[in-house]
Amino acid sequence: MTRIKWEQIQFTDTCWLWLGPQIKGYGKSHGTTAHRVVYRALVGPIPEGLELDHLCMRKLCVNPEHLEPVTRAENMRRRAAAYVTCVNGHDFSPENTYIRPGGGRDCRQCIRRRVAKHRARRRSVAA
């Protein structure tokens, strides 16, 4: 069993925040994410084909009470519902949201801007 590094966890009123190494906003421990390590140690194995959803929406939280095993599709659906605007502040309305085949989503306004910039660059190179 993997030892939990308790000294790398800050306990708040609700969340247990990972203070150790991070990768892509998630805590990192023993070659995987810290929340998976803590969940396995305190709850048990993560069921095959499921991943842990942070119910508190905090990537650094390792509190097993805030983690729920769900399918990837459900995890992506919940994540998408939690964010109402894109990184550039455009609303994720039904008309402005492109759902990728893998379940992620993109802002249509941002896609149009990227395509326009790409086309302008290609035109300037071709001229």
- Of the candidates 51, 72, 93, which is a domain's last residue? 72
- pLDDT per position as a tens digit, 29-62: 989 999 999 999 999 999 999 999 999 888 999 9
pLDDT of the residue at 22: 94
Per-residue pLDDT reduced to its tens digit, 59-105: 999 999 999 999 999 998 888 777 787 777 788 888 999 988 877 78
Residues 96 and 47 in one domain: no
Picking from 112, 81, 107, 85, the residue whose alpha carbon sits closest to that of residue 96 is: 107
- 8 part of a folded domain: yes
Task: Collapse the DSSP code of 52 into the 3-class scheme (helix H, G, I; strand E, B; otherwise coil) and give the result.
Answer: strand
State whether 28 and 90 are in the same domain.
no
Angstrom distance (rounded) from CA 78 to CA 51: 13
What's the domain range around 19?
1-72
SS3 85: strand
Read off the pLDDT of each residue in 109-120 and give the average, rounded to a whole number: 95
For 114, how many CA atoms within 13 A lie in the half-sphere containing its CB? 7
Are 35 and 9 part of one and the same domain?
Answer: yes
Spatial distance between the Cα atoms of 85 and 112, rounded to a whole number of angstroms: 16
| Model confidence band, residue 27 (pLDDT cutoffs 50, 70, 90) | very high
The confidence score (pLDDT) of residue 1 equals 62
- Cβ neighbours around 95 below 10 Å, total: 7
Query: Taking the complete model, does pTM exceed 0.75, yes or no?
Result: no
2/64: higher pLDDT: 64
